[in-house]
Amino acid sequence: MAREKERKIYVVGHKNPDTDSICSAIVYAALKTKLTGQTHEPRRAGQLNEETQFVLEHFGVKVPKLLSDLREQVKDLELKEVEGLKDSVSIRTAWEKMREFNIHTLPVTRNGKLEGVITLGDIARTYMEVYDSTIISKARTQYRNIARAVEGEVLTGNEHSYLLNGKVAIAASSRILMSDFISKDDLVIMGDRKDAQQCAVDMEASCMVVCQNAPVSEEIIRQAEEKQIVIIRTHHDTFTAAQHINQSIPVKYFMTRNNLVTFNMKDYVDDVKEVMARKRFRDFPIIDGKGRFVGLLSRRRLLNVRKKQVILVDHNEKSQAVEGIEEADVLEIIDHHRLSSIETMGPVFFRNQPVGCTATIIYQMYQEAGLTPDPTNAALLCAAIISDTLMFRSPTCTKMDENTARKLAEIAGIEIEPLAQEMFNAGSNLKGKSAEEICFLDFKQFTVNDTVFGVGQVNSMSADELKEIREIVEPHLEKARTGHGLNMIFFMLTNIITESSELLCCGPEAREKILTAFDLPDDTDAIMLRGVVSRKKQLVPTLVGALQQ
């Protein structure tokens, strides 16, 4: 049977996520799930900054799982769900299951862990290869497997015990000759001859297979019980019984144990295809992160791979998107930034409004659906607007943003000013973080012609704290620039109280471009941009204009 998992649609923001990116993803996923009935799961594309962590903890919301790559993975495929066999099961039972489910490979498991695989080819070789008459005992075959293989019943003896010694013999000769080739612990196949049955008992055979439902006397059964001999009676003739007995051998004797080619649920389909191309197996076992067998994957099922479905919020730039976005099925984009570089294979619902925060758009969509977000989701949206607009101080903030935030605060039962104070304090508390971590906490990358640059930003209500951050970050900028393959890096130290930003520059012509863009004197020491607090609306557009000239 194929195992088809419920199709999830991921709702995710940009790399180096901010509060708007995370909160909008969470709340929009809730709205879409409610409206469609299909599971929409919020995800994050990177590590949370301190401010966002504070918001989620403050309102008791679980941090979304990380979505690091949108390429198709094994977990996105339909797998053959097959129950694992115990290694003591007979090859006949394995063959019957293969025929029942029309498959060529079966997993052999113990406590859910994969021990090996048995294939139709393995079973075929048991017939084609020549084995001596001791193979049944060498394989430590259980008597109940023998009984099932010959479709017989156990008249006496312990069917759960094993044939450990001796060979398989057919009692087709006289008693005298039988005495010469039958030894203690042998398995003897016979018919209705009482002398042959008695000889097998006298020679202390371990098992007697009586064919064609021949009668077995009470005396023979009594003697067999005393000597712990297993008696199996079958309707088959001796030729057929002898042929079927080999089918009783446990799969562990023929299964493949070593050098198994397996895949993990998190493996990417492209990588799986490469391995499959070099192997000639029909089916490949799939295991989960704990090493437990999950199912089988065949080449044919790779043809039915389905792209991951995703909704993007708070961005529409490929450089800011989760890896593998070009291989995903983008269903929607909800954003408030400039149009950029995301390309889709088909039509897409794209909503982009000139407001200060994606959360403002999400609340509009709730209203349009005739719904009101619950207090927790309302609080998240409100926090997102506070963050993106610097509590309505940013030039990106519109009257709609402020009105929306105040309405959401009423629904959530919170006060905006105290919440903003706590959020900004948490966001600027970077104790224990490295220069690299601070650089990329809130960082976005842009491309203009052949120039690739990045802009990071830290907001604080304390000038002293911004000074400390500058001392940590500034010496690291060159290393960050070269390490991430950027032509230029700019870092905004934004003072929320004074509504200004000190700008750190790194890279060839980076300083010159900023001085030109903002028409500052060449002898400017520290670059202080009065009234500039928005990366999106003030810094980046001005810088892009200078780079395009």
pLDDT digits (tens, 9 = 90+) for 495-546: 988 999 999 999 999 999 999 999 999 888 899 999 999 888 899 999 998 8
The predicted model gives 217-240 an average pLDDT of 93
The predicted model gives 391-401 an average pLDDT of 92
Instruction: Find, among 498, 495, 503, the residue nearest to 540 by Cα.
Output: 503
Distances from the Cα of 91 to the Cαs of 163, 427, 444, 514, in angstroms? Answer: 16, 64, 60, 76
Backbone dihedral region for residue 506 (phi beyond 0: left; psi -120 to 50: alpha; all else: beta):
beta
Domains present along the chain, CATH in parentheses: 2-72+308-427 (3.90.1640.10), 75-126+253-302 (3.10.580.10), 140-248 (3.40.1390.20), 435-548 (3.10.310.20)
**Which residues lie across from 351 on neighbouring strands?**
334
Give the span between the Cα atoms of 542 and 519, in whole angstroms: 11
Tokens of 173: 């000769």
User: Contact at 8 Å (CB) between 460 and 469?
Assistant: yes
pLDDT digits (tens, 9 = 90+) for 236-261: 999 999 888 888 888 888 888 888 89
> Given this model, what pLDDT does residue 129 score?
63
Give the span between the Cα atoms of 14 and 440, in whole angstroms: 13
Q: Which ranges of 428-539 would DSSP assign to H, the alpha helix?
A: 435-439, 463-473, 477-483, 510-517
Tokens of 539: 């810094």
Question: How many alpha carbons lie under 13 Å from residue 302 in its C-beta half-sphere?
Answer: 17
Output the 3-class SS for 270-339.
HHHHHHHHHCCCCEEEEECCCCEEEEEEEHHHHCCCCCCEEEEECCCCHHHCCECHHHCEEEEEEECCCC
425 pLDDT band, cuts 50/70/90, is: confident
Mean pLDDT comparison of 320-324, 405-409, 427-431, highest-scoring range: 405-409
| Residue type at position 471 | E
Tokens of 3: 């195992």
User: What is the DSSP secondary-structure string of 376-426?
Assistant: HHHHHHHHHHHHHTTTTTSTT--HHHHHHHHHHHHHHT--HHHHHHHHHHH
pLDDT digits (tens, 9 = 90+) for 343-357: 777 788 999 999 999
Give the span between the Cα atoms of 547 and 549, in whole angstroms: 6
3-state secondary structure of 187: strand
> Given this model, what pLDDT does residue 192 score?
84
> Given this model, what pLDDT does residue 528 score?
94
Give the span between the Cα atoms of 488 and 136, in whole angstroms: 74
Query: What per-residue string of b and e applies to 149-183 under the rule 16 or more CB within 10 Å gives b?
Result: bbebebbbbebeebbeebbbbbbeeeeeebeeebe
Tokens of 180: 């010469």
Give the span between the Cα atoms of 2 and 5, in whole angstroms: 10
Average pLDDT taken over every residue of the chain:
89
DSSP 119: E
Non-local (6+) Cβ contacts of 540 within 8 A are: 446, 455
Give the span between the Cα atoms of 280 and 121, in whole angstroms: 12
Phi, psi for residue 90 in degrees, rounded to 5 = -75, 160
pLDDT digits (tens, 9 = 90+) for 101-150: 888 889 999 999 999 999 888 888 776 665 677 888 888 899 999 999 99
Tokens of 115: 């021990």
DSSP 90: B
Phi, psi for residue 216 in degrees, rounded to 5 = -125, 125
> Given this model, what pLDDT does residue 3 score?
45
> End-to-end distance of the chain based on CA atoms, in angstroms?
62
The predicted model gives 381-404 an average pLDDT of 94
Q: Which ranges of 142-229 would DSSP assign to H, the alpha helix?
A: 143-149, 175-181, 194-202, 218-226
Query: What per-residue string of b and e applies to 449-461 under the rule 16 or more CB within 10 Å gives b?
Result: eebbbbbbbbbbb
pTM of structure: 0.64
Tokens of 172: 């087709």
Minimum mean pLDDT range among 341-345, 350-354, 414-418, 482-486: 341-345
The predicted model gives 318-336 an average pLDDT of 90
Q: Does the pLDDT value for residue 433 go beyond 90?
A: no
